[in-house]
């Protein structure tokens, strides 16, 4: 009698443990309680193509694919069946903030840009208001700060 009870307990324990293994699994792990605390650091995560307003304002209908690729970079998503559609997607999550997603779709016909879709569109007024940034490069004067031994080896005529 005792052996039967022990056998039933072992079989029952095996069935319970096996049942736990076949339960429904979540695709995302549950966040820890500590992750929600404000003093816990969460890294900024960004993915995709960074596309700025300035880059989009420089887009013009009639551009070739190579011109658009030079301006915006290689698209994140290209479809083998729709080669005339390029999708640029950018996501960023800063710390505990919600994820921000930006989308841009370029449509081409006969290697020419015919339509721009997405969250941002080219705006000629915005482009006209933007002041061109002057590029100022300052090059410091060269100072010979080599040691005496190096100067004598490289330039024996220099006796400064």
Name which of 21-25, 57-61, 72-76, 127-131 the model is least confident about: 21-25
More confident: 141 or 110: 110
Res 62 pLDDT > 90: yes
pTM: predicted TM-score of the whole model, two decimal places: 0.56
47-130 is classed CATH 3.40.50: no
Tell me the H-state helices in 22-102. 53-57, 65-72
Mean pLDDT, rounded, of the chain: 80
Q: What pLDDT shows up at residue 6? A: 84
Cα 80 to Cα 97: distance, rounded to the nearest angstrom: 35
- Residue 136's Cα: distance from chain center in Å? 30
Asked if pLDDT for residue 147 goes beyond 90, the answer is no
């Amino acid at each position: 009698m005792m052996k039967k009870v022990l056998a039933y307990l072992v079989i029952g324990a095996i069935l319970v443990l096996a049942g736990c293994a076949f339960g429904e699994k979540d695709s995302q792990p549950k966040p820890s309680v500590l992750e929600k605390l404000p003093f816990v650091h969460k890294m900024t995560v960004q993915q995709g193509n960074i596309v700025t307003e300035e880059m989009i304002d420089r887009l013009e209908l009639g551009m070739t694919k190579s011109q658009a690729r030079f301006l915006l970079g290689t698209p994140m998503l290209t479809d083998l069946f729709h080669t005339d559609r390029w999708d640029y997607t950018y996501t960023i999550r800063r710390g505990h903030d919600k994820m921000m997603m930006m989308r841009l779709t370029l449509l081409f016909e006969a290697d020419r840009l015919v339509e721009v879709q997405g969250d941002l569109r080219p705006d000629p007024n915005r482009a006209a208001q933007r002041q061109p940034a002057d590029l100022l490069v300052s090059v410091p004067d060269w100072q010979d700060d080599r040691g005496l031994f190096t100067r004598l080896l490289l330039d024996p005529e220099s006796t400064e």
